[in-house]
Amino acid sequence: MPGLQAMRTYQGAWLGADIAAGLALTAMLVPVGIAYAVASGLPGICGLYATIIPMLAYALFGPSRIFVLGPDSSLAALILAVVLPLSAGDPQRAIALAGMMALVSGLICIAGGIARLGFITELLSKPIRYGYMNGIALTVLISQLPALFGFTVKGDGLLEKGQGFIEAVLAGKTNWTALLLGVGTLATILVLKRFQRVPGLLIAVVSVTLVVEALGLAQGAGVSVLGSLPQGLPDFSFPVIMASDLVPVLVGGFAVAMVSFADTSVLSRSYAARTGTYVDPNREMLGLGAANLAAGFFQGFPVSSSTSRTPVAEAAGAKTQLACVVAALAVAALLMFGPGLLRNLPTAALAAVVIASALGLIEVSDLRRIYRIQRWEFWLSIGCLVGVAIFGVIPGIGIAIVVAVIEFLWDGWRPHYAVLGRVDGIKGYHDISRHPEARLVPGLVLFRWDAPLFFANAELFQDRALDAVASSPTPVRWLVVGAEPVTSVDVTAADALSELDDTLRAAGIELCFAEMKGPVKDKLKRFGLFSRVGEERFFPTIGEAVNRYLKANQVQWHDWEDRA
């Protein structure tokens, strides 16, 4: 429990800063928590439950000193995709479904942390992450537009909701008073966001609430408002769902775990680098898992790191997780003693809060850079965005993961390879396709393979090696494989090497290896290939292999000898 360890080294001089930062953070946590709950298809009170308990859990189990966890816009669309169709408008079912998603996500994160799988999110490349996050942001934006315009629409996916929104606007369902309040709230948040020390969100929410209350807009203009929150703190309960709900909840919980840990790990590393500390990603998974378990058992919903609230805590002077503890206790005090303070907060303003956060998820500038330098990865990102938009958030996340695996395998499936030669004035041996002036040793082919050898590329390796032999301008005596880039060999590849050795032996050609790593040699020894080829055919460097070839075959080209 890193929180208990931090208490032992806590300095009294930090107390005032942590308390002040916690109170400043509270002003943001309340409206944001409520807004993300509503955006997730849940009662607003669940957003405060998902703020209080998870923050306390992370303060105890989380490794980062300055870090805020809670409801997040990046998860709203994921939760809504599961909760909305299954709950059928029943708020209690919605709470149970979201709570079970939090439990699933928490267990996955804890299991991943124990298994030391903190590296797993690194398998998602930056363009793919941009793609699905842009898709999620677009989904959130479309889902909040009806509330911003003062009406509701039916529909499960982005396309259905978008179509429903356009039809409702054309049918004249817009509540212009609600729209004015929502747009004003959004503009205030975006304008004041530039000033870190100005509580723009608090100013916007308090102002619009006072306007609605003073002018009686809830009754006079039909503006939808939040209403009074239930008084008191959440009870411990196990969320009960139907058997038919299990598969979508499991899939949704897994998607939530992937997205939340991807966001959390990136933000955690950036703050760790800024403070000069190290944060173990596996411990981060445990802390995130504990926070989600706490949310699930106390009527909350899945939580993640916050790229908007963490900077607020930092700017307010937070030193440790005690700032989050203070903020959680302050939110709890609001529920105990002032649950009616936000009863006139318009839902259009809550939609504006979510839209402002979703806009922060959209990445454009770096995608422009990717378009300039690697166009196919740009279109890969756009493909992930379209997948989220067309098939839904959770299938879109699955598409992103599948594409990431395919992208990873493609580089190893069809890797670069080269025939090497000697270039005057440049030390070593180099790709003859890049250096046509390079000279080849008569009877010797130096073949470099720039990838691990495994089942997907073993046959290609065999074909390309034989092509290199066939393309040699002189009869070949030795084929030397430059194996420095080869980091692994599996059974299929080892069998392909054996077949290659048989083919070459039949043609009177010896197969040799240079610069092979020790762990790869160990595998070849287990496969029986090392003894078959012969220890004398494994050379520490390509230069040594060339020298041995020249001596063994009495080639009198002294200018080829590597005298380094």
In order along its 564 residues, the chain shows pLDDT tens digits of 777 777 777 787 878 888 888 887 887 788 889 989 998 999 999 999 999 999 999 989 988 777 888 898 878 888 998 998 899 889 999 999 999 999 999 999 999 888 877 666 666 677 887 887 788 788 888 888 998 998 888 876 778 888 889 999 999 999 999 999 999 999 998 898 887 667 777 888 889 999 998 999 988 888 888 888 888 888 899 999 999 999 999 999 998 888 888 777 766 666 666 666 666 778 888 889 999 999 999 999 999 887 667 777 777 677 788 888 999 999 999 999 888 888 888 989 888 888 887 887 788 888 999 999 888 889 888 988 888 888 877 777 777 778 777 777 777 778 889 999 988 888 889 999 999 999 898 999 999 999 999 988 999 999 999 999 999 999 999 999 999 999 999 999 999 999 999 999 999 999 999 999 999 999 999 998 899 888 999 999 999 999 999 988 877 655 444 443
Which of helix, strand or coil describes residue 456?
coil
C-alpha distances in Å from residue 437, one per residue of 84, 161, 275, 326, 434: 67, 63, 52, 71, 9
Is 214 in contact with 69 (CB distance < 8 Å)?
Answer: no
**270 Cβ contact partners less than 8 Å away, ≥ 6 residues apart:** none
Structure tokens at 275: 């403070």
- Tokens at 538, concatenated: 């494994």
Q: In this structure, are residues 479 and 468 in contact, taking their beta carbons and an 8 Å threshold?
A: yes
For 432, other C-beta atoms within 10 Å of its C-beta total 18
Question: CB of 373 within 8 A of CB of 122?
Answer: no
Listing from the earlier edge strand, what are the strands of the sheet with 417-422? 429-431, 417-422, 444-449, 478-482, 510-514, 538-539
CA–CA separation, 555 vs 59, rounded Å? 72
The number of helices, as runs of H, and strands, as runs of E, in the chain is 23, 8
Predicted TM-score (pTM) above 0.75: no
Strand, coil or helix: what is 334?
helix
Distance (Å, whole) CA 209 – CA 380: 43
Residue 160: which residues within 8 A CB-CB, separation 6 or more?
A: 154
Beta-ladder partners of 510: 478
Helix residue ranges per DSSP H, 446-490: 458-470
Query: Dihedral of CA 110/113/115/120: which sign?
Result: positive
Dihedrals φ, ψ of 207, to 5°?
-65, -45
Closest CA to 138 of 368, 405, 301, 381: 381
The whole-angstrom separation of Cα 445 and Cα 432 is 11
Cβ atoms within 10 Å of 540's Cβ, excluding its own: 10
Tokens of 443: 């009877």
Tokens, residue 256: 């939530």
* Alpha-carbon span 110 to 116, nearest angstrom: 10
Task: Provide the 3-class DSSP secondary structure of residue 338.
Answer: coil
Q: Beta-carbon neighbour count of residue 251 at 10 Å?
A: 19
Per-residue pLDDT, 14 = 77
Q: What per-residue confidence (pLDDT) applies to 89?
A: 85
Q: Are 564 and 543 in contact (CB under 8 A)?
A: yes
Residue 182: which of 24, 309, 35 has the closest Cα? Answer: 35
Spatial contact of 481 and 517, defined as CB atoms under 8 Å apart: no
Do residues 29 and 324 lie in contact, with contact meaning Cβ atoms separated by under 8 Å? no
